[in-house]
A and B are shown apart, each in its own frame.
Chain A
């Protein structure tokens, strides 16, 4: 079992120094994500202008995987429109769940999370933020849970 595959430098860095962390002033979309089994809590706030995510920030507490995943996600989706976010979501889903998924160049730094799929108990840590983003983008923002 190679822990370095899971805890790559990019992940440790984003865990230690999460990007886009804190509340977003002037946010118009919001969702909460919970992982009751772990106690992970995630709050996403974003400003959507038409179809485009102008800005996005997150708050909460969680393990290194969930914190780094949320941090990397905010960087990746900022400035993107809904349809490209949906494509990213599907690519991430494949990356986290398909054993033979080839690294998708479109994922950029998000590909650092590929080691998670060797640790099935931790997949939900990495996917919590993406499910929460989906909820925030839908009109009925609600609390999502990965359980």
Chain B
């Protein structure tokens, strides 16, 4: 665990310019301007080592996994299962049986909703989420509530965009069966006190699922130290390809859950009378998996750990602080989400300029930000906003990106007069 490592007095200097050279897409120009990519919270870019690992696998090792005795099938199986072991180490899971490859965080949450919650919940049971959640951590639970008669409760947020812990505790009760919350809010960047929230859920006999999509690229995640029952994240937000993600589940829980999709690879024997299911993790991986994606994910983990997640986090925190203070000096800008503990995300509005107009004007300057409701419409409703603009930072962003953002914002002000 990170906490046991000796603290380094001087963290290694972070060379963002060298990092930028690892991301070929950053040399792209947009509308004749250099690309300023500030949308990593929506999807990050791919590092050369990830691209090379994917190309190398596709060029030299591809076949189907777990099926053939021929050399390529064994090479593909070794690459795929090697990636699983790489993920296990990355999040410090106890066993590779606890690492289920999924398409992404959305699929991970849906798997738990349909396979853990749906068979065991009924009327009177409660599922607790928070007011900060992404639609992917709201809708699957609403579907389970419709299917089972369970009810959904929501721990409210405050004007800073935090989930006050006492409010969260107040929503927990004897009927709470499952608690699901983001590790980091995608819309506002708020970091939630997930360890305390898991402990509180456990104290009420509920299991806890953490949506880690926005946390894994920015912080060291140790699922056992957090005590998480389920933890899920996406590859494409951590410099790996799209279409690959991970659901971690405690082995005892996963073993007790029925499969949620049927097909090849998830069975031991099939007859028309009786089918027996494969063991973990194959039980939850019906069909040919995204082998290429898993290979890319393992390469992305190597890359992240090579740079040092703590060093990346410190670098991004410096950029967040710089951008926050620059935008705070612009009177027409209002920052949305001012939690004491934030990660890599800056959401804001500009007086008199709708977020979508802002997005178009920034794009004309080559500055890519997300505009809209960020798949978190309840958060927007809470703040009484139809939309915000969101700048989000990754390991490859620099102070120059922040300067380009602020100068593009001044231009927006000029366009709208």
Which residues on A are within 8 Å of B, measured CB to CB? 1, 3-4, 6-7, 12, 16, 37-41, 61-65, 67, 119, 121-122, 125
Contacts and interface: CB of A to CB of B under 8 A. Distances in A.
B356 A125 contact: yes
B361 A38 contact: no
Interface of B: 31-32, 352-357, 360-361, 364, 372-373, 377, 380, 386-387, 415-417
Nearest to A65: B357
Contacts, number: 48
A67 B386 CA distance: 14
Nearest to B387: A39
A32 to B, nearest CB: 15
B357 A63 contact: yes
A122 B386 contact: no
Contact of A1 (B354, B355, B364, B377): B364
A64 B354 contact: yes
A39 B360 contact: no
A3 B412 CA distance: 10
B356 A122 contact: yes
B416 A38 contact: no
Contacts of B415: 3-4, 7
B302 to A, nearest CB: 36
Given A41-B386, A122-B360, A63 B354 contact: yes
A38 B354 CA distance: 10
A39 B357 contact: no
A63 B380 CA distance: 16
**Which 5 residue pairs of A and B lie closest in terms of their CB atoms, listed nearest first?**
A63-B354, A63-B356, A39-B386, A1-B31, A1-B364
A12 B417 contact: yes
A39 B417 contact: no
B402 to A, nearest CB: 22
B360 A6 contact: yes
Given A3-B415, A63-B354, A122-B360, 11 more contacts: A3-B360, A3-B364, A7-B357, A7-B415, A7-B416, A12-B417, A38-B356, A38-B386, A40-B386, A63-B355, A64-B416
